Amino acid sequence: MYSVTLEHVSQVYPNGIKGLSDINLHIKSGDFVFLLGQNGSGKSTLLSLLTKELNPSEGRICFGKQDITNMKRKEIPFYRRKIGIIKEDGMLLNERTVYENIELAMLATGKGGSKLKEKVLSSLGMVGMRNKADAYPNEISGGEKSRVALARAIINNPCILIADEPTSGLDNDASWDIMNLLDEINRHKVTIIMATHEKNLVNIMKKRVVTLYNGRIIGDVKHGKYGDLI
């Protein structure tokens, strides 16, 4: 199992803007953590450090016992096989079917083989999208696209799922569908780290809440609500 630890992590962009300032954070294996904060607070910067889109300007980041602070570029694809990533826009390929979008995620890791179709359909079945396997992204709703993005993120059995605003733009019912799926995945010991602005979701879920402001952590509450800072 893998924990995540950030020690005195800072991120300064080339234009001089500080994304994070002296962040210390430990996320245990199996945690469900909401990252809260206004735009520009540092949520996306923190997630980008964990997905290795960025290297920190200062500090140390560990994934389990592995130091990923300044990981070599050739090592990053192997690291990302251990994590699932969901972006706000879903990142689905419009020229590929739902099935093909999931299939590509497996093929990219070299996990083809005779059971490929079975695994793809099983992943789609977990999010209730097996009946849309042959559809294209422009033929399904926003909520369904989010389900497909989730299926793609879990197809390789990640130990940590990193989600950046996965319910953005969805109606209330679709948002709760995604949250219920994430909660079920978390019950299977997958760590969830999710950035969000959705107050109602946070308040009802009562998970760990980490609040950022101006690149710093100003709150960390075990079973928190939106706005809890102690």
Q: What is the pLDDT of residues 86-102, one digit of tens each?
A: 987 668 899 999 999 99
Question: Bridge partners of 216?
Answer: 213
Count of other CB atoms within 10 angstroms of residue 65:
7
For 99, the token pair is 């099935």
Model confidence pLDDT, tens digit, residues 31-51: 999 999 998 999 999 999 999
Whether the predicted pLDDT of 5 surpasses 90: yes
Whether the predicted pLDDT of 193 surpasses 90: yes
Rounded-to-integer distance, Cα 35 and Cα 219, Å: 10
Give the pLDDT score at 226: 74
Q: Which residue has the higher pLDDT, 114 or 27?
A: 27
* pLDDT (mean) for 191-210: 93
Q: Which residue has the higher pLDDT, 115 or 111?
A: 115
Give the pLDDT score at 76: 92
The separation between CA 4 and the C-alpha centre of its own chain, rounded to angstroms, equals 13
The mean pLDDT value of the chain amounts to: 91
**What is the DSSP secondary structure assignment for residue 181, as one 8-state letter?**
H
Geometric angle at alpha carbon 54, from 50 and 55, rounded to 5°: 90
Model confidence pLDDT, tens digit, residues 48-83: 999 999 999 999 999 999 999 999 999 998 899 899
Count of other CB atoms within 10 angstroms of residue 13:
11
How does residue 112 score in pLDDT terms, banded at 50, 70 and 90?
low
Whether the predicted pLDDT of 8 surpasses 70: yes
* pLDDT (mean) for 126-155: 93
Whether the predicted pLDDT of 230 surpasses 60: no
CB-based contacts of 41, cutoff 8 Å, min separation 6 = 212, 213, 214, 215
CB-CB contact of 159 with 63 (8 Å): no
* pLDDT (mean) for 112-116: 73
| 173: enclosing H helix or E strand | helix 172-187
How does residue 116 score in pLDDT terms, banded at 50, 70 and 90?
confident
| 200: enclosing H helix or E strand | helix 199-205
Give the pLDDT score at 1: 67
Strand 191-195 relative to strand 32-36: parallel, antiparallel, unpaired?
parallel
How does residue 168 score in pLDDT terms, banded at 50, 70 and 90?
confident
Domain ranges of the chain: 91-157
Count of other CB atoms within 10 angstroms of residue 137:
19
CB-based contacts of 13, cutoff 8 Å, min separation 6 = 19
